[in-house]
Structure 1
Amino acid sequence: MLQTIYRGLTEIGGPAIRLYLARRRAAGKEDPARAPERLGRASADRPPGRLAWFHAASVGESLSVLILINRLLERYPDLTVLVTTGTVTSADLMARRLPDRAIHQYVPVDRMPYVRRFLDHWRPDLALWIESEIWPNLLCEIGRRRIPAALVNARMSAGSFRNWSRVPGFIRPLLRTFGLCLAQTETEADRLRRLGARDVRCVGNLKFSAEPLPADPAALAGLREAFGGRPSWLMASSHPGEEAVAAGVHAALRDRLPGLLTVIVPRHPQRGGEVSRLLEERGLGRALRSAGDLPGPGHEVYVADTVGELGLFFRLAPVVCVGGSLVPIGGHNPVEPAQLGCAVIHGPYMTNFSEVAAQLRADHAAVTVQDADGLAREVGRLLTDDAERSRLATAAAAVADRNRRVVDAVLDALVPTLAAAGVAPCP
């Protein structure tokens, strides 16, 4: 019943959907040159042979799946991969990082004519969806066409579980589109089973297996020279409210740490100007990377509002606060700084990475703070205590390293799904 209502609303909502997309384009949230893709019109030909379709909502999901894509293409040399995402930032990252034999397209809006147009063109042999994206029309059409499908690195938060539990007749058939669900944690696996998912297994978090974020050597050398050995720390993937916290931390520490350089990497680079204005109001000298600036002696804060360069700053800043964790977003990936030798700090909101945060906490491999005062205290402590900073970084790197084989477990679990799609390794 609810599925019928949803489909009907999306069917009559075509004009509203086009208006919505137009407004997103005006706000810089859609790529005008590729707008037809959102309506299911492909901008590339389907290659011959078997095609595996990965759907990843945004940046975090798409980055986490790169290691799996690379390994699949190595193991199955006749396979091509299609990756869909829904954001401009993720599309830009995929353009830079996808390997040969992999194609990126924007996911079509979940309206049946767009969905069918997309699937008619691409004819995927299997569908691998990442984490927690539930698009009813897309999933129903995958099921109707009997495309083998798996939910990989699946997440099901407590809040989402409560909400979906209220509509069991709606969520159960959608989850049963997936013949296999590979959950990040046993808790999430249990929630998926209770909602009706089939063949649910816990294999760990694929983000542990991701390769360390890359960094352009020339850019790294230039930034290292510009940093000039100044004490520095990084607010990584920040959200509104966290930049003000970072500014307050800087103000609290600059007299104690002469030459202190605070680096802010906004989660959404288009907010660079907004962040710069906030810092100006606080009287802090700042440089903006999108303007081509490097931090100089007169700059106290460096705003790195560019796409795909976070790996640079993890290599430059010895102390990192994980963004999205000081405000109720749910936190971003602490494995990324851990892999690159950083001392990791995060706030109280880490529901998106609860299992990772728990492992780091159990090994005394990260510092949890509750507020701005706690963050200022810990950043100051770690920038002045070399031994503790090194111990924390080493412990975090060890947690990341011992979980790197998650991708092998995922690949092994996917073998029957790949076989059902007619995908087999070369003899």
Structure 2
Amino acid sequence: MARVFYTLIYALLLPVFVARLWWRGRLNPGYRQRIHERFALFRQRPPANGLWLHAVSVGETLAAAPLVSQFRARYPACPVIVTTTTPTGSEQVQRLFGDDVLHVYLPYDLPVFWQLFLKRMRPGLLVVMETELWPNLLAACERESIPVMLANARLSEKSARGYRKFSALTFPMLQRLSLVAVQNAVDGQRFLGLGLAQERLEVTGSVKFDVSVPDDIEQQGQLLRAQWGSERPVLALASSHAGEDELLLSLYPALAQQIPGLLLLLIPRHPERFAAVAEAARAGGLPTALRSENRVAADTQVYVADSMGEMLRLLASADLVLVGGSLIPHGGHNPIEPAALGKATLMGPHHMNFAAIAESLQERGALALVSADPADLQQQLLHYLERADERQAMGGAGRRAVAENRGAVNRLTQLCAGFLKL
């Protein structure tokens, strides 16, 4: 009954969802493109019994990349379908895999669209990255006898409380999951507390520890630094959100006074913010260069990475990395990438989306937590910028921690093959 009411409300709100796409398209035109796919209208028809993987946006797509790559290498004859929700996620899929996978947007969560989608795609298994559960999607998969695995799953205490409030919807969804592969045992206990059966829970670790680091990544980072001035110290704010770039820009003059030649590298999370971040830097009177211009003057103080798909190369050029999404109540972003590169890594207080990973890295001395208070943050940044030996120790600990936690991708690949009977 709860799903009936959910479906009715969702159908009534559908015009609002479409209008929201059009509105967001003002800043990112990708939201206005291929809208028909969100109604399960597309021409593609892959062979049956393929692997269907859903990754919401950029973060989930990057997390899924090693799994897709390993699965395709082992089972090249099995088709792979990848769906996303955002245009930035779509761009990432096309950048990573090109025509090697079939990609469309995830349809709206109404039964009629799932009937069309599943009839055309005929997948053998749905793998949902992290925690993106839709009641009608899961009901449709159950009706068509398609197993569903939640992979690289995480569940914060805050999210668990939210799910409990809507248990009439969430409990049936959990019963329809064939397997939940969680990042750690703590998150696993939260799923069990919501009603997941013990035999459907598997602790596989985080696929993000299986990040692929190119052999020449340090050389790529050094080439970037050569454009800026090889001896200049570089502070990177990675995957930043509104409010965070502005905070670092406000602290920059005081930091630069103590750290001569300091370059502030800003890497906004979303492309629609590239221009706003550059404008904020220039409005503060700071000489600013853009990655797209590929020109850096000797007096450049702020470098805005207005490009996509270059995160590892950019992080490889930094001396100290502050992970964005953690200075504001967003939940934080992935600290594993800078750790894997051997970079001293910092996160703010709002890191609940990566709480277990941050705690693990912190215990190993690979990560430090900092304050969002401007005065405190300034002193903490100065502390690490002034201590090269401490940064080096953190970087070494990060590399070791990532190496010790690899293996989730291999376990998930085996689970997928088991469901697909490969």
Q: Same fold per TM (> 0.5)?
A: yes
The residue number in structure 2 matching 1:245 is 247
The residue number in structure 1 matching 2:314 is 313
Match of 2:264 among 242, 262, 266: 262
The residue number in structure 2 matching 1:124 is 123
The residue number in structure 2 matching 1:294 is 295
For the residues of structure 1 that align with 2:216 and 2:106, how far apart are their CA atoms?
28
Question: Equivalent residue of 1:125, what SS?
Answer: strand
Amino acid at match of 2:26: A
| Residue 339 (str. 1) matches residue 355 (str. 2) | no
The residue number in structure 1 matching 2:386 is 384
Amino acid at match of 2:205: G
Moved more, 297-306 or 407-416: 407-416
Structure 2 counterparts to residues 8-407 of structure 1, below 5 A: 8-28=8-28, 30-43=30-43, 45-98=44-97, 101-198=100-197, 199-212=200-213, 223-229=224-230, 230-290=232-292, 292-371=293-372, 372-407=374-409
1:29 to 1:174, Cα distance in 2 relative to 1, 3 A: farther
Write the deviation string for residues 6-48 of structure 1: whole angstroms up to 9, x where unpaired: 11122344433433332233342644342211221125x2232
Amino acid at match of 2:202: R
1:20 to 1:269, Cα distance in 2 relative to 1, 3 A: closer
RMSD over aligned CA atoms reads 2.2
For the residues of structure 1 that align with 2:194 and 2:413, how far apart are their CA atoms?
25
1:389 to 1:108, Cα distance in 2 relative to 1, 3 A: same
Structure 2: runs of 5+ lacking an equivalent: none
For the residues of structure 1 that align with 2:133 and 2:20, how far apart are their CA atoms?
20
Amino acid at match of 1:295: V
8 Å contact 1:65–1:210 — kept in the other structure? no
Question: Equivalent residue of 1:192, what SS?
Answer: helix
For the residues of structure 2 that align with 1:304 and 1:332, how far apart are their CA atoms?
17
Amino acid at match of 1:162: R
Question: Equivalent residue of 1:182, what SS?
Answer: strand
Moved more, 364-373 or 59-68: 364-373
8 Å contact 1:223–1:294 — kept in the other structure? no
Percent identical among aligned pairs is 33
Question: Equivalent residue of 2:123, what SS?
Answer: coil
How big is the shift at 1:277? 2.3
How big is the shift at 1:145? 1.1
How big is the shift at 1:222? 5.4
Write the deviation string for residues 48-85 of structure 1: whole angstroms up to 9, x where unpaired: 25311001111111111111111111222221111111
Write the deviation string for residues 304-354 of structure 1: whole angstroms up to 9, x where unpaired: 122111112111112100001111111111100111121111111111111
For the residues of structure 1 that align with 2:16 and 2:317, how far apart are their CA atoms?
46
1:69 to 1:16, Cα distance in 2 relative to 1, 3 A: same
Count of matched residue positions in the alignment of Structure 1 and Structure 2: 418
The two structures have a TM-score, normalised by structure 1, of 0.92
Amino acid at match of 1:232: V
Structure 1: runs of 5+ lacking an equivalent: none
Amino acid at match of 1:7: T
Question: Equivalent residue of 1:132, what SS?
Answer: coil
Question: Equivalent residue of 2:127, what SS?
Answer: strand
Question: Equivalent residue of 1:66, what SS?
Answer: helix
How big is the shift at 1:114? 2.4
8 Å contact 1:263–1:302 — kept in the other structure? yes
How big is the shift at 1:409? 2.5
How big is the shift at 1:129? 0.6
Amino acid at match of 2:252: H
Moved more, 85-94 or 115-124: 115-124
For the residues of structure 1 that align with 2:220 and 2:107, how far apart are their CA atoms?
36
For the residues of structure 2 that align with 1:107 and 1:125, how far apart are their CA atoms?
17
For the residues of structure 2 that align with 1:364 and 1:217, how far apart are their CA atoms?
22
Write the deviation string for residues 354-409 of structure 1: whole angstroms up to 9, x where unpaired: 11111111111112111333433333333332221111100011111111112223
1:328 to 1:15, Cα distance in 2 relative to 1, 3 A: closer
Moved more, 251-260 or 6-15: 6-15
8 Å contact 1:127–1:147 — kept in the other structure? yes
8 Å contact 2:28–2:271 — kept in the other structure? no
For the residues of structure 2 that align with 1:9 and 1:214, how far apart are their CA atoms?
51
Amino acid at match of 1:347: G
Amino acid at match of 1:280: R
Write the deviation string for residues 84-125 of structure 1: whole angstroms up to 9, x where unpaired: 111111111111112663122111122333222222211111
8 Å contact 1:214–1:311 — kept in the other structure? no
